[in-house]
Structure 1
Amino acid sequence: MSPPPRMPLVLRIALIVAVMAAIFAVDTTTRYEVAAAVFYAVVILTTARLLGRRALVALCAACVVLTVASLVFTPHGDLRSGLINMGISVAAIVMTTWLVLKMETARAAAHEAQAQLLRIARIKSLEGLTTSIAHEVNQPLAAIVTSGNACQRWLAQEPPNLERARQALERILADAGRASGIIARVRSLTRGEPPQRSAFDFNDAVQEVLALSQAGMEINHIALTVELADGLPPALADRVQVQQVVGNLLLNAMEALGPVPAAARRLRVESARDGEAILFTVTDSGVGIVPGMSEHLFDAFWTTKDEGIGVGLSISRAIIEANGGRIWAEPVVQDGAVFHFRLPAAGAEPRP
């Protein structure tokens, strides 16, 4: 169900002016003892999100002027009570304006802090992928050098072996394409673009992240099992953001496997259809979830890592929920942990 259309800005301003005029009329025509001007504070509260700082200050000044004018034009009542009520009304208007301005400043600071946390989390995630990325890029580069040397040898023969040289050049082009693809995947994971929900192949997105993590798993002797369900409908979410969450869950699982003997390091990645949604699961045989820890796992700045900053899972939850999904964790019966998240499907028929 779509949200109701918002009232046009001009109409809202006209309504505010009408309300202020009504307050002025009531405050002027009633006795001094009636402090109707205090309702100008309500007007300021309701218009806080529509106006900038200068416009809000100007509105405050206008409300104060109208309050004083009401006192001047009020025809009857106890003047002393009127002065007291005017002072109370002016104080309420000024204090409300000050509080609103402070609140808007705090909200802007909170948005900036959130953006900064996203940048920090992205950098920390990249630190964990550095070894894997270097290994992945080094492989096609080393192959390019080998094929280049071979090509030189084939061309140096008498007569030159053009067929073998052509084959070596084809290998160079293919390996250069591999290196370019790796760099493109890394760039897609580090872009700080606003969320753009669209339909995409969920399994392909997961495979791209796994390709970046593969070398790190091999270096750390982690046995990886991948079970991606066939026939999944397209996911409806921001592809890059979802890949960031997948990468973060994989990194967390790899770190949890660090203290475990190499022979027992197992990691399973799964995707499945769950009604009208897609379910993603990462299971590890690591140190597991300590009792009482699960309720804090997704809290900002809460971490059990010596060098952690405690924002990875918090931001992952924010990303998944912003894309209409849910993320949660649960311990494994023996050792290890399981992390799940669900994302809405695009509603298309499952692919064959």
Structure 2
Amino acid sequence: MPLLWRRPLLPALLVLLAAAIFLADTITNLEIAVAVFYVAIVLIAVRYLDRRGVAMVAAACMALTVLSFFLTRAGSVPAGVINCAISLVAIAVTAYLALRTATAEATAREAQAQLAHITRVTMLGELTASIAHELNQPLAAIVLNGNAAQRWLAGGNRDEAGKAAERIVRDAERASELIKRLRGLTRKVAGKAVWLDVNQTIVETLPLVQNEAGRNHAALRTELARDLPRIQVDPVQVQQVILNLILNALEAVKDERVRDVTVQTSLGKPGEVVIAVRDSGRGLKGVQLDHVFDAFYTTRPDGMGMGLAISRSIVESHGGRIWAEPTVPHGAIFRFSLPSGRTGLRQPDR
């Protein structure tokens, strides 16, 4: 998606550029095919407008080309006819090919979004035990506090009953928030960028993998930098990347003597927030770092090799980057960066 501030300026930019080309084409000789530069306007329109908008822009450029031909007085008319025809063909062919390319890219992005959704649902299926455990905690607390409130009311102690009711509301909201996050992860909807607190997202994500960490007897820690700028991203997609990296790290340490997984946040380059997942596992020996994020590349016998590939596509669609490095004396760290203060998310064309 382009930067939001460019959207209102786009029509004015296209009109000014078309006016400049029209003026130059009209005052120059017919032998000079200035109208060919309308191709640039069509290419700009393809980047920012839908199919109908591009078609309208291309038609307007062709109309201006013909109008300029009739208004131009200087030069050879036969040469002008040829140049006019060439310009019209160039505009039409450019619009056609550009629209074909844009359609193919939109189809690829839609297929990528569907694959990401399938991977996300599969991931949540693997976390069923963790999700059930996390949801059972507030539900059990609601039952206990409900029973306690009944006893306090029966005893005439309204103050304690009121406190129990407050705890019930708090635990109900906690369960509701968990269900809301899970619904967001399972729903297949177009990505929507919002201003996100990265640290808060990590805190909300960890409960989903706590049971998995306990099952692997791994210590799951956080090192979150303070005063990080908010980033404008699709929260569901970013949470999917974080979940995937944590699950990979837990898998990497499950057979090790030391089983530590640390989620870190920090400032990267100016205007950049970095999220990292470090593990004390077997490291990256035998792993081809140039291919670790390629589709179907995996070192696990039961792995599909899609998690990291989808993570890379998500990060790059937000204008960020993702990379992996070995750590000393052992283990690995996977980092990804996201730009702050901008919208990097590309939406499928509609």
TM-score by length of 1: 0.68
Residues 235 and 343, structure 1, Cα contact 8 Å, conserved in 2? no
Change (3 A) 1:196 1:203: closer
Instruction: Give the SS at the match of 1:294.
Output: coil
Structure 2 residue runs without a partner (length 5+):
46-52, 342-350
Whole-Å separation in 2 of the counterparts to 1:138 and 1:205: 21
Partner of 1:160: 154
Which residues in structure 2 correspond to 1:295-306 (within 5 Å)? 295-299=290-294, 301-304=295-298, 306=303
Q: Assess if the C-alpha contact under 8 Å between 2:229 and 2:273 holds in 1.
A: yes
Which has the bigger relative contact order, CA under 8 A and spacing at least 6? 2
Matched, 1:107 2:102: yes
Q: Which residue does the alignment assign to 1:22?
A: 27
- Residue 313 of structure 2 corresponds to 315
CA gap of 1:238–1:252, structure 2 versus 1, over 3 A, is farther
State how far apart, in whole Å, the 1-side matches of 2:156 and 2:317 are: 54
Q: CA RMSD in A?
A: 4.2
Shift in alpha-carbon separation, 1:68–1:203, aligned structure 2, 3 A: closer
Change (3 A) 1:233 1:160: closer
| Counterpart-to-counterpart distance in 2, 1:192 and 1:46 | 28
Q: Report if the CA contact (8 A) 1:44-1:60 is conserved.
A: no
Q: 1:44 to 1:22 in 2, by over 3 A?
A: farther
2:48 match: none
Correspondent of 1:269 among 253, 263, 266: 263
Q: Does 1:141 align with 2:135?
A: no
Identify the match of residue 334 of structure 2 among 339, 342, 345: 339
Tell me the residue number matched to 1:213. 209
| Residue identity (%) | 31
Match for residue 237 of structure 1? 231
Alignment match, 1:52: 54
Structure 1: where are the runs of 5+ without partners? 28-34, 76-81, 347-352
Task: Using the TM superposition, give the Cα deviation of residue 179 of structure 1 relative to its aligned residue in structure 2, in angstroms.
Answer: 0.7
Q: Which amino acid aligns with 2:19?
A: A
Partner amino acid, structure 1, of 2:168:
I
Tell me how far apart the structure 1 counterparts of residues 15 and 81 of structure 2 sit (CA, whole Å): 30
**C-alpha displacement at 1:252, in angstroms?**
2.8
Distance in 1 separating the partners of 2:134 and 2:21: 61
Shift of 1:332: 3.0
CA distance in 2, matches of 1:343, 1:337: 20
CA contact (8 A) 1:48 1:56 kept: no
Cα shift at 1:109: 3.4
Determine whether 1:249 maps to 2:245. Answer: yes
Distance verdict in 2 for CA 1:192–1:222, change over 3 Å: farther
CA contact 2:264–2:276 (8 Å) conserved in 1: yes
Contact 1:269/1:282 (<8 A) preserved: yes
- In structure 1, what is the Cα distance between the partners aligned to 2:317 and 2:42? 30
1:53 offset after TM fit, Å? Answer: 0.9
Q: Which residue of 1 aligns with 2:347?
A: none
Q: 2:21–2:37: 8 Å Cα contact kept in structure 1?
A: no
